Amino acid sequence: MNSKLKYKELVLEKAIDRQKQIINDFRGSIQEMKNSEMAVNEDQYDLGQGGFNSGSSEMIENLDRELNFVLKEMDLLQILKENLGIKDRVALGSIVETDKATFFPSVSIENFDVNGKSFLGISRDSPIFQEMTGKKKGESFRFGDQEYFIVDLY
């Protein structure tokens, strides 16, 4: 197997691991808030107070929406895993090494490291992905006031 493809598989696995961590963090936060809300509701019943839980319920709903979004992004990572290959143009699932950063167009993931190299996961909806889409190794693209030169692409 091609060494770049093998490395790309490793990058995708690290991205999936990071996404799983994000999902677990959301689930933990939601559970914590639900437990907290249950404790507050019991206290409210005893004290005859009202109104507190509507704010926490809204926060739980917001976290739940975010969790659903992150789960959909995980689905995309799984699809990329099934269709992994070397790319000659920037597309979803590419590794795009530029003179300034290394991007992994897939889902929005904060910086993550693979064997000491930092990657930035960017969403297909991100403006920077729109600027780099379809570019080849050796080409450049502009985002904001920065120009990026594509050093390698696979």
The C-alpha atoms of residue 22 and residue 77 are separated, in whole angstroms, by 14
Under 8 Å between Cβ of 105 and 77:
no
pLDDT value at residue 51: 46
Three-state secondary structure string covering 30-60: HHHHHHHHHHHHHHHHHHCCCCHHHHHHHHH
Three-state secondary structure string covering 126-151: CHHHHHHCCCCCCCEEEECCEEEEEE
Q: Give me Rg for the CA atoms of the chain.
A: 21
pLDDT value at residue 35: 82
pLDDT value at residue 97: 97
The C-alpha atoms of residue 64 and residue 87 are separated, in whole angstroms, by 35
List the beta bridge partners of residue 97: 102, 152
Number of other CB atoms surrounding residue 106 within 10 Å: 26
Residue-wise pLDDT tens digits, 21-39: 999 999 998 888 888 766 6
pLDDT < 50 positions in the chain = 46-52
pLDDT value at residue 78: 93
pLDDT value at residue 48: 47
pLDDT value at residue 100: 96
The C-alpha atoms of residue 33 and residue 25 are separated, in whole angstroms, by 12
Residue-wise pLDDT tens digits, 44-59: 554 444 444 566 788 8
